[in-house]
Amino acid sequence: MIIDYGQNDGSNEENDYANTHYLPVNPAYNLFFTGNTDIPNPNRWQPLEFGDL
């Protein structure tokens, strides 16, 4: 059944899809500041920091 497959597909659905493997190379980008000149690796993903929006 499709629902049974979803429990074992690696999405971590039972823990609200929490990340279990990936660690970002770049620090989180704070949305309250402009510019992003000090990103260590611009070819890699950068998480966003939302703070208390």
In a domain, 28, yes or no: yes
- Domain holding 27, by residue range, is 22-53
Reported as a single tens digit per residue, the pLDDT across 1-51 is: 677 777 888 888 889 988 888 899 999 888 888 887 788 999 999 998 887
Task: With beta carbons less than 8 A apart as the criterion, state whether 6 and 21 touch.
Answer: no
* Dist. CA 43–CA 53, nearest whole Å: 27
What token pair was written down for 49?
A: 């920091």
What is the per-residue pLDDT for 41? 93
In a domain, 3, yes or no: no
Q: Which residues contact 3 (CB under 8 A, 6 or more apart)?
A: none
In a domain, 43, yes or no: yes
In a domain, 17, yes or no: no
In a domain, 27, yes or no: yes
Between vectors from CA 39 to CA 34 and to CA 41, what angle results, nearest 5°?
Answer: 150
Q: What is residue 5's DSSP assignment? A: H
The pTM of this model reads: 0.55
In a domain, 4, yes or no: no
Number of domains present in the structure of the chain: 1
What is the per-residue pLDDT for 30? 86
